[in-house]
Amino acid sequence: MTATFGQRLAAAVERLGNLCVGVDPHPALLSAWGLPDTPDGVERFSATVLEAVAGQVAVIKPQVALFERLGSQGMAALERLLSRSAEAGVLTIADAKRGDIGSTMAGYADAWLRDGSALAADALTLSPYLGFESLRPALDAARETNRGVFVLALTSNPEGASVQHVGGEDSVARRIVEAAAAENRDGAPGSVGLVIGATAGEAVRRLGLDLSTLNGPILAPGVGAQGAGQRELRDTFRGATGLVLPNSSREILSAGPTVEGLRKAAAATQRAVDLSRGTGSGTD
Please report, for the chain, the start and end positions of each structural domain, with discontinuous segments joined by +: 5-273
Given this model, what pLDDT does residue 279 score? 41
**276 pLDDT above the threshold of 80:** no
Q: Let me know if 250 is exposed, middle or buried by CB neighbors in 10 A (0-12, 13-18, 19+).
A: middle
**What is the predicted pLDDT for the residue at 222?**
86
Kindly tell me if the per-residue pLDDT of 218 is higher than 50.
yes
Query: Does the pLDDT at position 256 exceed 70?
Result: yes
Average pLDDT over residues 182-186: 93
Considering the chain, what percentage of its residues have pLDDT values greater than 90? 84
pLDDT digits (tens, 9 = 90+) for 48-74: 999 999 999 999 999 999 999 999 999
pLDDT score recorded for residue 227: 67
pLDDT for 144: 97
Residues designated catalytic? 97
More confident residue, 222 or 106: 106
pTM of the model: 0.94
Reply yes or no on whether the pLDDT at 231 is more than 90.
no
Residues 147-161 have pLDDT tens digits of: 999 999 999 888 999
Model pLDDT, residue 187: 72
CATH class label, 5-273: alpha beta
